[in-house]
Amino acid sequence: MIKKILIGLASVIVVAFVVIYFLAKPTLENDGSYSPSNLALSLGTVSKTDFEYIEYTKYEGEKSKILVIFTEEKNLEMKNGKLFSTGNHPIEALVPMLHLKNAGFKFEIVTPTGKPVAFEMWAFPNEDENVKAIYKEYKANFEHPKKLKDFIANSFSKADSYAAVFVPGGHGAMIGIPEDRNVAKSLNWAHNNDLFTITLCHGPGSLLSTTLDKNKFLYDGYKMAVFPDAVDEMTPMVGYLPGHMKNGVSERLKELGANIVNTESDETVCVDRKLITGASPLASNELGKLAAKTLLKELK
């Protein structure tokens, strides 16, 4: 009898491992990249966000614009050579934009070369009417953004019209953005003109660009919330990433002198001087509220 019970338990365990294996297997896309597994999607995405509608006293001054630097890149190569199907996380981009829009601000949408914005559409909250509405409103801008280089040439002289630079998160923010000199120019432009810089999750990878050409890290000593490398190291276990990443974000920023205030991928947000940051997709709503309230308070 005991032998039969043990054999039965062993069979159940084997079946469970087989089921978990297939649920945790990243999904191969047509271009050869991998999107997260069914298990990872069930654990790490939502159909509706925690966005809170707030009646802000709308800003009506001259500094009404926010430059939003999106990635145009979709595929992030892992150490094992596999490509992760990524881009900007839609919740990390659109929920903060909802708050900033409701606070009276407008957006200049750019990508490095003017190619369409890349979104992690597998993470899109399809039952969230607020997110769907702002995505639809700016869809044409996402499909035909301005070139960052052109923005630098034409708008740097109009800093008085801008309140902030926003770099949304998503692993796609780590493809080319940290090595882009025009991103560095934009962050320095914001810093030198006393504008805010807003970013979250993997978006703070953009801050690394300020060290290009052996320049001193612009945010040395700043407190910031960033997606932890330790969490990225664990996600291949559930098939979120198809392998381990070549480079993380949080540890590199820490080595440059940033003071990371979070250890989990949670709702943590932080403001230090003119830098406003959030830890993860879970922080999108809190970051939007913090950014809107901080800008309104500063610019009143």
Q: What is the pLDDT of residues 99-139, one digit of tens each?
A: 999 999 999 999 999 999 999 999 999 999 999 999 999 99
The total of other beta-carbon atoms located within 10 Å of residue 135's CB is 18
Mean pLDDT of the chain: 93
Task: For 65-106, write each residue's pLDDT tens digit.
Answer: 999 999 999 999 999 999 999 999 999 999 999 999 999 999
pLDDT at 2: 59
Name all domains of the chain by residue range, CATH numbers in brackets.
2-299 (3.40.50.880)
Contact 70, 93 (CB under 8 A): yes
Residue with tokens 């280089």: 149
Q: How far apart are CA 292 and CA 147, in angstroms?
A: 26
Tell me how far apart the 2 most distant CA atoms of the chain are, in Å. Answer: 83
Task: For 171-221, write each residue's pLDDT tens digit.
Answer: 999 999 999 999 999 999 999 999 999 999 999 999 999 999 999 999 999
Q: How far apart are CA 108 and CA 99, in angstroms?
A: 16
Residue in 69, 98, 117, 201 annotated catalytic:
201
With a cut of 90, say whether residue 19 has pLDDT above it. no
Query: Average pLDDT of 282-298?
Result: 98
Question: Is 270 annotated in the active site?
Answer: no
One-letter amino acid identity for 172? G
Task: For 241-268, write each residue's pLDDT tens digit.
Answer: 999 999 999 999 999 999 999 999 999 9
Q: How far apart are CA 277 and CA 46, in angstroms?
A: 22
Query: Average pLDDT of 269-298?
Result: 98
pTM of the model: 0.93
pLDDT at 215: 97
Confidence of residue 23 (pLDDT cuts 50, 70, 90): confident
